[in-house]
Chain A
Amino acid sequence: NAGVTQTPKFQVLKTGQSMTLQCAQDMNHEYMSWYRQDPGMGLRLIHYSVGAGITDQGEVPNGYNVSRSTTEDFPLRLLSAAPSQTSVYFCASSPRDRRQETQYFGPGTRLLVL
């Protein structure tokens, strides 16, 4: 089991560029989500998905798109990068069973937007 994997580990973008952060899990989890972590702000939810084909917005969705075509993958797209999107991005997954909702986190992607 690889768990939750994220690529790339680190990325530098110029303002206005677009990119996709990849997230994959091999635990057959239904729930997947994206968080960003900023100093002094903690972790904040960007988007989440309760299953393939179903996504919803979190606390800070502006500037980001997601889709969930398979159970395994949940990519996060930055449409037009801005310096305010400089952050560390974490993907997480958890089983559908609310009694077992341990969240498993990926190692993170550090994004710098110049």
Chain B
Amino acid sequence: KQEVTQIPAALSVPEGENLVLNCSFTDSAIYNLQWFRQDPGKGLTSLLLIQSSQREQTSGRLNASLDKSSGRSTLYIAASQPGDSATYLCAVSQGGKLIFGQGTELSVKP
């Protein structure tokens, strides 16, 4: 059974800092891995999708990497801003189904 773990559960950083969020999964037979952002009381917004054959994806200040063999992904956020404060979720895709981690709650202090 696929299990997805995110570390840390919560993170507080000062504005401007670069940071890394971690995601690990137990079964490497995935189609892709997605990173989502969720603001309090809101739905999920897709940030990045890494296909199983890819190693990384970039969008603006965000960079996500994928190492299928070790079952790990990282989300790198450069020059963090208070507007980045949210919960970040990673999820692996297996046949149209997503298996989620429990998220990392990020707080960026001005």
Contact = CB atoms under 8 A, between A and B. Distances in A.
Interface of A: 31, 33, 35, 40-45, 48, 50, 58, 90, 92, 94, 98-99, 101-108
A90 B102 contact: no
Given A33-B96, A58-B97, A94-B96, A102 B102 contact: no
Contacts of A104: 46
B102 A42 contact: yes
A50 B96 contact: yes
B97 A33 contact: yes
B51 A99 contact: yes
A106 B43 CA distance: 6
By secondary structure, the B interface counts as strand
Given A90-B43, A102-B34, A106-B43, A43 B89 contact: yes
* Interface-centre pick from A40, A41, A58, A101 (highest chain B CB count, 10 A): A101
Interface residues of B, number: 23
A42 B34 contact: no
Contacts, number: 63
A97 B48 CA distance: 17
Interface in B84-110: 89, 91, 93, 95-103
Given A43-B89, A45-B98, A103 B46 contact: yes
A8 to B, nearest CB: 14
Contact of A42 (B46, B95, B101): B101
A105 B96 contact: no
Given A33-B96, A50-B96, A94-B96, A105 B101 contact: no
B73 to A, nearest CB: 16
A101 B31 contact: yes
